[in-house]
Amino acid sequence: MEENWRKIYSNTYEYKVKIVQAVLKDNEITSVVMNKKDSAYLHGEIELYVHADDVLKAKQIIKKESL
């Protein structure tokens, strides 16, 4: 992944990450999901990244929406 992407959210449940991603998309913020969960042991997290320029706005939206 390019170095100008920043992790802003992670969770062990994929559906929660997808909800946050959908809310960000509704606010015109592009995001990328990276699944770092080990499929054999179900250990790890799913991470959500946004472009460095959108970090502040994305975090404010996540906080405002209580996600």
pLDDT value of residue 14: 92
pLDDT higher than threshold 70 for residue 2: no
Residues 33 and 18: beta-carbon distance below 8 Å = yes
Helix H or strand E segment including 64 = helix 55-64
Q: What is the pLDDT of residues 45-62, one digit of tens each?
A: 999 999 999 999 999 999
Q: What CA–CA distance (Å, rounded) separates 16 from 9? A: 10
Of 1, 5, 64, 35, the closest CA to residue 26 belongs to 64
Q: Mean pLDDT throughout 29-41?
A: 86
Give the domains, in start order, of the chain with CATH numbers. 5-64 (3.30.70.1530)
pLDDT value of residue 37: 80
Query: What pTM value is reported for the model?
Result: 0.87
pLDDT higher than threshold 80 for residue 1: no
